[in-house]
Amino acid sequence: MTRTPPPEPRDEIRVAVSTVIFSLRHDDAGELPAVVLPLVRRTRDPHEGQWALPGGWLDASENLEAAASRTLAETTALAPSYLEQLYAFGDVGRSPARVVSIVYWALVREDVAATPLPADENVAWFDAAALPPLAFDHELIVEYALWRLRNKVGYSRIAHGLLPELFTLAELREVYEAIGGRRLDPANFRRQVDGSGTLIPSDDFRTGSHRPARLYRYNHDVELADRGPLPR
* DSSP 3-state of 142: helix
Burial class (CB in 10 A: 0-12, 13-18, 19+), 75: buried
Cα–Cα dist 200/215, whole Å = 9
User: How many residues belong to the site for a second copy (CB under 8 A)?
Assistant: 57
Q: Which long-range contacts (CB under 8 A, 24 or more apart) does 67-73 make?
A: 67/17, 67/102, 68/17, 68/18, 68/19, 68/102, 68/104, 68/106, 71/17, 71/18, 71/19, 72/19, 72/21, 72/106
Between 99 and 169, CB nearer to a second copy: 99
Residues 57-76 close enough to bind a second copy by CB under 8 A? 57-64, 71, 75
Contact residue for a second copy among 9, 30, 116, 195 (CB under 8 A) = 9
54 binds, among a second copy, DNA, none (CB under 5 to 8 A by kind): a second copy
154 binds DNA (CB under 7 A): no
Between 110 and 143, CB nearer to a second copy: 143
117 residue type, one letter: L
What is the closest distance, in whole angstroms, from the C-beta atom of residue 76 to a second copy in the complex?
Answer: 12
44 binds a second copy (CB under 8 A): yes
Residues that bind a second copy (CB under 8 A): 1-4, 6-7, 9-16, 18, 40, 42-44, 52, 54-64, 71, 75, 85, 87-92, 95, 97-102, 136, 140-141, 143-144, 147, 226, 228-230
Residues that bind DNA (CB under 7 A): 168-170, 185-188, 190-192, 195, 205, 207-214
